[in-house]
Copies of this chain bind each other. A is one copy, B any other.
Amino acid sequence: MAAPIRVTVFGENYHEQHDESVQKLYPNGLHGAIAEGLNELLGEGVEVRTVVMDEPEHGLTEEVLANTDVLTWWGHWIHQHVDDAVVDRVHQAVLDGMGLIVLHSGHHSKIFRKLMGTTCNLRWRGGENRELIWTVNPTHPIAQGVPSPMILPSHEMYGEFFDIPTPDDLIFVSSFDGGEVFRGGCTFRRGHGKIFYFSPGDQEYPIYFDPDIRRVIANGVQWVHSERAERGAPPVIWKRIKGYGPDRDTAADLAEAVARAEEYGMEIIKTTANQVTAKGAGGFTTTIEV
């Protein structure tokens, strides 16, 4: 039997501390309800932990991320207070192969914007809106086991234009009472990581208790989970195909790679027998494999 997927559910946990209505709806926090849904539907297939913003390093230490296969992200009101160092770390983990699910108002989180490269702006209206969530990709694993449309009797409105790159897979499109539409379920690949954005649920509505929404998030966890054996972002590769050209001297190549990284102004952070990892332009960590 496959090892359980290790899921970390990140909750901003701000509204739960400040808004009575949210406390009432989500006594264990939105993160608590999300975690509960995953345990309910995936059982022994997952090991779920929750972390919140107030913890040191927002609970997202190197060690936690190293032991996380899939991270889910709910944030809203205090995106700007998320530590840039943590964002960089999560970004690196995604490129290394960690799956990521960004929920609802996480569209404006630093991590989602950094991965997308766009504003992730959208059309917005609060208040009571009936949302219908339609499947436009019925063979996608994430769309299995839920009706089309799913119906949310009351929700806030997110509409187009949603400023994201063209999704790899567009799975769900929502409509709202006001006539708006929204590409609210879509996937992206970045480095060795898979990402699923899913637009429900606002903190004022009991969305994360809805069995269909829970099913979609559970499907999402399984889909973004990497099947690659090892973690690590795509390296710069100097290796040749065997048989093309003269044999290479790996040690010499490695020395050259190190020299080049230094000349290039990068900070060497790790070397192995055939790899050098250095930090350089734009905060990116680059590994050269020889």
Contacts and interface: CB of A to CB of B under 8 A. Distances in A.
A193 B118 CA distance: 10
B138 A179 contact: no
A24 interface: no
Nearest to A189: B139
Copies, count: 4
A269 B187 CA distance: 33
Contacts of A173: 160, 173, 181, 183
A78 to B, nearest CB: 8
A139 B178 contact: no
Interface in A156-171: 159-163, 165-166, 168-170
B114 A282 contact: yes
A173 to B, nearest CB: 5
A237 B192 contact: no
| Smallest CB-CB A-B distances: 5 pairs | A80-B281, A163-B234, A123-B237, A110-B282, A115-B117
A229 to B, nearest CB: 8
A136 B121 contact: no
A282 to B, nearest CB: 4
B190 A180 contact: no
B113 A179 contact: no
A188 B165 contact: yes
A268 to B, nearest CB: 14
Contact of A134 (B77, B166, B180, B282): B180
Interface stretch (A5-13, A56-64, A144-152, A209-217): A144-152
Interface string A69-93: 0000000010111100001000100
Contacts of A240: 125, 178
6 contacts: A109-B281, A124-B236, A124-B238, A134-B159, A163-B234, A178-B244
B138 A228 contact: yes
